[in-house]
């Protein structure tokens, strides 16, 4: 279940990346506002998944690799949120680069989580 939550943060992070890309090519700052909210939403979902995964690891049932990936996603995602709180072009190019890295991390974390879920004996 938490893997589903984790993977659901991915489209939001991806949306932020696409918004950043749109801003960097159009210079329309409204795209930064979109990216800021998408990142905020993604962080809520990633945070929930992170809590859940931490509890699982504490109960010696979850995957440590998955937890570490989620932590990395959340921390870099949060830094990215702060970068996106800068004004106008001050968000660039750091924001775009961070958004790309976070999308990859979120995808890998979600993939690892879903794979573990599939392997689980029914």
How far is 67 from 49, CA to CA, in rounded Å? Answer: 9
Residues lying near other proteins in the complex (CB under 8 A): 27-30, 32-33, 36-37, 40, 79, 81-90, 92
Q: Is 61 exposed, middle or buried (0-12, 13-18, 19+ CB in 10 A)?
A: exposed
Cβ nearer to other proteins, comparing 19 with 63: 19
Cβ nearer to other proteins, comparing 62 with 95: 95
Candidates 83, 92, 100; CA nearest to 10 is 100
Three-state secondary-structure class, residue 27: coil
Cβ nearer to other proteins, comparing 10 with 83: 83
The gap between the terminal CA atoms of the chain, to the nearest Å, is 14
Cβ nearer to other proteins, comparing 29 with 65: 29
Minimum gap (Å) between residue 86 Cβ and other proteins? 6
Could you tell me if 6 and 45 are in contact, meaning their C-beta atoms sit under 8 angstroms apart?
A: yes
Minimum gap (Å) between residue 7 Cβ and other proteins? 23
DSSP state of 29: T
């Amino acid at each position: 279940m938490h893997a589903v939550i984790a993977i659901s943060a991915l489209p939001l992070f991806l949306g932020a990346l696409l918004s950043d890309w749109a801003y960097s090519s159009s210079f329309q700052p409204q795209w930064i506002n979109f990216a800021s909210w998408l990142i905020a939403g993604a962080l809520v979902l990633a945070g929930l998944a992170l809590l859940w995964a931490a509890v699982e690891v504490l109960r010696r049932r979850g995957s440590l690799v998955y937890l570490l990936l989620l932590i990395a996603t959340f921390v870099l995602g949060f830094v990215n949120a702060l970068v996106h709180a800068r004004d106008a072009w001050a968000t660039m190019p750091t924001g775009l680069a961070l958004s790309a890295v976070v999308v990859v991390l979120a995808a890998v974390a979600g993939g690892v989580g879903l794979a573990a879920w599939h392997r689980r004996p029914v």
